[in-house]
Amino acid sequence: MKKIITILLLSFIANIAIAQKMSPYKIYNAKGKQVSYKKMMKTLTKKDIVLFGELHNNAIAHWLQYEVTAELHKSRKLILGAEMMEADNQDELNNYLKGDIDAKKLDTVARLWPNYKTDYAPLINFAKDNNLPFVATNIPRRFASKVFKGGFEALDSLSTEEKSWVAPLPITFDADLPTYKEILVMMGEHGSPELVMAQASKDATMAYFILKSYTAGSLFIHYNGAFHSDKYEGILWYLKKDQPNLMYGTISTVSQVDINNLEDKNFGKADFIIVVDSNMTDTY
């Protein structure tokens, strides 16, 4: 009998080892130390605002966004928001959350991303099913395009209503932030000061609507592309500028060939870095 128990125990341990080896992701802290999902959640539960940085086509990131949200909902009063919804579509989004329009109508009246149904609808439906607010935080893309073509001054000609969908003007801007400098390096000859300003107009607007919608005692979870909050800059820079005393948490998603160690370039990107196996299937 003891021999049978020993064999079963060894088999169980072997199965766990295989499962761990085959895990499609691992979580690290900013210093590169591997941490558990439980440890991450324990930390996030204590925050006021969490920025969940994703790779837009990464299935693991989208799955974890839902799982993190559902778990935090068990203990905290949540407010949700996302880069993928633009501020001038807030009314349409609210109508969907209230049940005044259905999913098909929302797709008609709002500008939804091509991967909305697979990647973002689950989060919005979670808000709908649990009577949670969902904030459309991003600047309308046509206004970001104006900034790309003519700098921040291009926003001055907007109507009063249109300006209500953008961070208050004039938008504070620090071109020397490392992530903004990195944009110019990545874009090479296609980069320009106006391109960085367009990025900043998004960051500033998302931060503005996050703080505008935040209420004391709640936890605001914001879903955005990782670059908008990596290295504690972007959205977080604007949040801290206006509300330095709130407790912020950040998550970033990266892809690596080897997930067993955090690559040097990914150190310090966020409080928690989700490292996904590069062989993982993309959502598009």
CATH code of the domain in which 173 resides: 3.40.50.11550
If you count DSSP H runs as helices and E runs as strands, how many of each does the chain have, helices first? 11, 8
- Whether cis (ω within 30° of 0) applies to the bond prior to 170 is yes
- Interaxial angle between packed helices 37-44 and 59-72, expressed in degrees from 0 to 180 and rounded to the nearest 10: 50
Q: What whole-number distance in Å separates Cα of residue 41 and Cα of residue 33? A: 16
What pLDDT score was predicted for residue 20? Answer: 52
What pLDDT score was predicted for residue 233? Answer: 98
Give me the domain span that covers residue 208: 24-277
* 79, part of any domain: yes
What pLDDT score was predicted for residue 8? Answer: 40
* 196, part of any domain: yes
* 192, part of any domain: yes
- The separation between the first and the last C-alpha atoms of the chain, rounded to the nearest angstrom, is 52
What pLDDT score was predicted for residue 191? Answer: 77
Give the tokens for residue 244.
């330095």
What pLDDT score was predicted for residue 190? Answer: 76
Strand 134-138, strand 34-35: pairing: unpaired
* 113, part of any domain: yes
Q: What is the pLDDT along the chain (284 residues), one digit of tens a residue?
A: 444 443 443 344 344 444 456 799 999 999 999 999 999 999 999 999 999 999 999 999 999 999 999 999 999 999 999 999 999 999 999 999 999 999 999 999 999 999 999 999 999 999 999 999 999 999 999 999 999 999 999 999 999 999 999 999 999 999 999 999 999 888 877 779 999 999 999 999 999 999 999 999 999 999 999 999 999 999 999 999 999 999 999 999 999 999 999 999 999 999 999 999 999 989 89
Say what the pTM is: 0.92
* 6, part of any domain: no
In the chain, the number of structural domains is 1
* 11, part of any domain: no
* 118, part of any domain: yes
* 284, part of any domain: no
| Alpha helices (H) along 73-217 | 90-98, 103-109, 121-129, 141-150, 160-163, 178-187, 193-213
